Structure 1
Amino acid sequence: MTTNELVAYAVTAMEDKKGTEISVIDISKVSVVADYFMLVSGTNQKQTQAIADEIEEKLAKHEVFPRQKEGYSGGTWILLDYQDVVIHIFNGEDRRFYNLERIWADGITVDPKTFHISEE
């Protein structure tokens, strides 16, 4: 699976679970940590966990698994590390507080709709 396909599957999963404020930031030219940071907001712990579960399920079908998973039990900021793609699932309050978009402002914000899955 390509990195772009991974992002596309994650966006689909976020949309399927009614995540809001989906953001994709290309950080490949400003960091060696990953190629993309993805952010999405949920309204409560159950929704953020459901978004994380859906992302993991969609990617696991293609034998893609997170290298690391953090914050799931608390559900206010869940991080799924897929090496080239790091996914942040926030509740609204924590997302505004940490404001990762500001921290990674040197990256390029990419419209999530530009990512396509070549096979389904």
Structure 2
Amino acid sequence: MESKELMELVAKSCDDKRAEDIVVLDMKNVSLIADYFLICHGSNERQVQAIARGIKQDVEEKDIEVKRLEGFEHSRWILVDLDDVVCHIFHEDERGYYNLERLWGDAPTYTYQEIEQDQGQM
């Protein structure tokens, strides 16, 4: 699966679990870490865990391996590493503090609505 398709799958998984403020950073020309960072948040620990579980389930159904899942126990910031796509799921209170969108401000940024509208053009 291409990294763009994987990013779209992960974004949909987040949306299906009612993640809030889903943002994708296109990291291809910014960093060697991944092609895409997906950032979202949940309003409580249970929702943050549900979002991470949903991603894991959806990608494993497509025979994609989760390389690393960190932070699940405390559920303040869960990182789901899928190689070319890294998903950061924050607790609502933590997202503003870490502000990854600002840290990686030179990366092109897309909202989930833009991804839905422009599928195939990014």
Pick the TM interval, shorter chain.
Answer: over 0.9
Query: Conserved in 2, the CA contact under 8 Å of 1:23 and 1:112?
Result: no
Larger relative contact order, structure 1 or 2 (CA cutoff 8 Å, min sep 6): 1
- Check 1:115–1:87 CA distance in 2 against 1; reply closer, same or farther (3 A cut): farther
Q: CA deviation at 1:112?
A: 2.9
Corresponding residue number in structure 1 for 2:63: 63
- Check 1:115–1:88 CA distance in 2 against 1; reply closer, same or farther (3 A cut): farther
Structure 1 residue runs of 5 or longer lacking an equivalent are: none
Query: Conserved in 2, the CA contact under 8 Å of 1:24 and 1:38?
Result: yes
The CA deviation string for residues 87-110 of structure 1, in whole angstroms up to 9 with x for no partner, is: 000011110000000000010002
Q: CA deviation at 1:69?
A: 1.0
Distance, in Å, in 2 between the alignment partners of 1:27 and 1:106 is 9
TM-score by length of 1: 0.92
Matched residues, number: 116
Query: Conserved in 2, the CA contact under 8 Å of 1:5 and 1:115?
Result: no
Query: Conserved in 2, the CA contact under 8 Å of 1:7 and 1:115?
Result: no
Structure 2 residue runs of 5 or longer lacking an equivalent are: none
Match of 1:112 among 105, 112, 115: 115
Corresponding residue number in structure 2 for 1:40: 40
Corresponding residue number in structure 2 for 1:24: 24
CA RMSD of aligned residues (A): 1.1
Secondary structure of the residue aligned to 2:39 is strand
Distance, in Å, in 1 between the alignment partners of 2:115 and 2:18 is 14
TM-score by length of 2: 0.91
Worse-matched range after superposition: 89-98 or 105-114: 105-114
